[in-house]
Amino acid sequence: MNSVKLKMCVVYSCLLCLLGSAFAHPIPAGADKDKPKIVNIVNFIRLLEPRDAQITEDVLYQTVVKQVELMKKYKLGGTFLLQYDALMDPRYQKLLKSLPRDSFEIGAWWEIPQPLVEKAGLKWRGRYPWDWRANIGFSTGYSLAERDKLTDVYMADFKKIFGYYPKSVGSWFIDAHSLSYMYKKYKIVASSNCKDQYGTDGYTMWGGYWNQAYYPSKINSYMPAQNEANQIPVPIFRMLGSDPVRQYDDGLGTTRQGVTTLEPVYKDAGGSAAWVDWYFKEFVQGESMEFAYTQAGQENSFTWDAMAKGLELQMPLIAHLRDEGKVKVETLAESGKWFSAHYKVTPATSVTVNHDLEGSDRKTVWFNSRFYRVNLLWDKGTLRFRDIHLFNEKLPSVYEKEAATSNECVFFTLPLVDGYIWSTPQKIAGLAFKATINGKETLLEGGDPVVTNPAEGKLHISWPLKSVEGSLEFDIDEQQVKMKLISVKVTDWYLDLTTAESAKLPFKAINPHSIDCQFEGMDYGISASQGTFSKPDNAVFRIASQANAINLNLSGTK
């Protein structure tokens, strides 16, 4: 046995030992049926990699061969998404046609290479046959009519090769016009886009439905729609399996976020046995409300040598959890069909981390609905809203009328609290929970929160307090966040928003019962049916409790 195989045997043995301890606690009966934990294994395929001469077309092809072998070894199905240049390569055609259709899906990866552009009768403007810039390598860089031509060419050639049209189309970002056109003409059932990130690779997608999936607005593919009439009925799944605790702050203070995800090439995340074990433990056991979702797999551009260790850690673990009925492994198209059959509009879901990695006491809850998202972060016994963004289906994307001219792209929603963009390493932004105790302003401190889903669309959090007698109870639904201090006495408690002095803030007016904001030319705001807003000297604004409670309307209507 050579040294590489020996090392992998050791890693695998250690992983099985970890599994025995980490998943010793039983999962509630019916959890898979009522609240499925869905894993998509999605590998997308490019023909070439112009950024590195050592990454040849054969290296990329052999990477996919190895991915197929590993998935077959553990009897794991999944989705392969083909960029057009790879679609037209006979080697990929033969390999992917050989996969059983009852467990593998072949779909489209929507980056735009030179052969597709030229076959559509358009002029190629790229530096290389595949150019990853937003105005060249993505549909956003083309007029609406050109986008339709590109789609028609791809779909026609895909059908010639495979005998059917693809059901799934993935991309780092895809415009709403193209998504709607693909749905209406070619009946796609699922799409996927990049995780939330700021500036990474020149792509900014910030403030959206944080994980799981959503129905996008007809005029903005990144913005969840609030009403069925204004949504594209194709669910978009968020890719890459973001670390719910660390990804948000990764690279804080810089113009380019780092990456802390399930992607197997990242040695401190998806390539780490400890991290992968922790991630899937929280994925299975954390409260997700309707369903949990994550995407495993990797683009072939990273090559097999870089991803092998991580995938060889992840695949047996995913198979083990599947065999125990704790996760459901399915194709992207299967997930899309399931989502559409269950939800007419985007549901409320959550992502919960009850226990962080060893050495950290942080805990977090992401709540998403079709109206807003919030993130609560517990750190060293204190609590703050790290993020609140509102959604409005009427906010158009700049790419829906005109082609992108910049080599970067930006997609935003409507900020109310932004713990990343409004922070510096020296001053972390957030909406902190405080109280006046013995005449002194003090951060509330408490123990471990308990997160439950008492009814459909509702999330309850109970946080036992140490700094004051009692507990803070949260009731969160798709339109409101209600907070109440349960105590034998009334306590002067409140929320203060602080930011870096350099932050560009959207606030126009702080009124006693509402806040008026403007961002990207859109007016929006929030209101309080219980609690009051003010502007103290040491905070951007304060939300003070009334009769020990604060009720915030985050639906965008006052």
For 171: left if phi > 0, alpha if psi spans -120 to 50, otherwise beta; the answer is beta
- Bridge partners, 38 (sequence order): 293, 328
- Cβ–Cβ contacts within 10 Å for residue 426, how many? 7
- Bridge partners, 365 (sequence order): 352, 376
Residue 345 CA neighbour count, 13 Å, CB half: 16
Distance, in Å, from the CA atom of 16 to the CA atom of 18, rounded to the nearest integer, reads: 5
Sequence-ordered list of residues with C-beta below 8 angstroms from that of 89, at least 6 positions apart, any chain: 47, 57, 61
Residue entry with tokens 């669910």: 235
- Cβ–Cβ contacts within 10 Å for residue 435, how many? 19
SS3 assignment, position 439: coil
Sheet holding 480-486, edge to edge: 450-455, 458-464, 471-476, 480-486, 549-553, 522-530, 514-519, 507-511
Cα-based distances in Å from 52 to 49, 56, 60, 125, 270: 6, 8, 12, 20, 23
Nearest to 189 by CA among 231, 154, 156, 234: 234
Q: Helix, strand, coil % (nearest 5) of the chain?
A: 25, 30, 40
Distance, in Å, from the CA atom of 241 to the CA atom of 245, rounded to the nearest integer, reads: 12
Q: What's the pLDDT tens digit per position in 389-434? A: 999 999 999 888 888 888 788 899 999 999 999 999 999 999 999 9
Residue 200: its pLDDT value, please? Answer: 83
Residue 13: its pLDDT value, please? Answer: 44
The token pair at 494 is 């409140």
- Cα 471 from chain centroid (whole Å): 31
Tell me which residues of the chain have a pLDDT lower than 70. 1-33, 490, 557-558
Distance, in Å, from the CA atom of 39 to the CA atom of 66, rounded to the nearest integer, reads: 20
Sequence-ordered list of residues with C-beta below 8 angstroms from that of 90, at least 6 positions apart, any chain: none
Every domain range in the chain assigned CATH 3.20.20.510 = 42-353
SS3 assignment, position 224: strand
Every domain range in the chain assigned CATH 2.70.98 = 363-553
- Bridge partners, 495 (sequence order): 433, 543
Distance, in Å, from the CA atom of 243 to the CA atom of 238, rounded to the nearest integer, reads: 13
Fold classified for 363-553: Beta-galactosidase; Chain A, domain 5 (2.70.98)
- Cβ–Cβ contacts within 10 Å for residue 154, how many? 25
Q: Taking a C-beta distance cutoff of 8 angstroms, is the pair 64, 307 a contact? A: no
Residue 490: its pLDDT value, please? Answer: 65
The token pair at 452 is 């439950």
Beta 458-464 vs 203-206: how paired, if at all?
A: unpaired
Q: Which CATH class is domain 42-353?
A: alpha beta
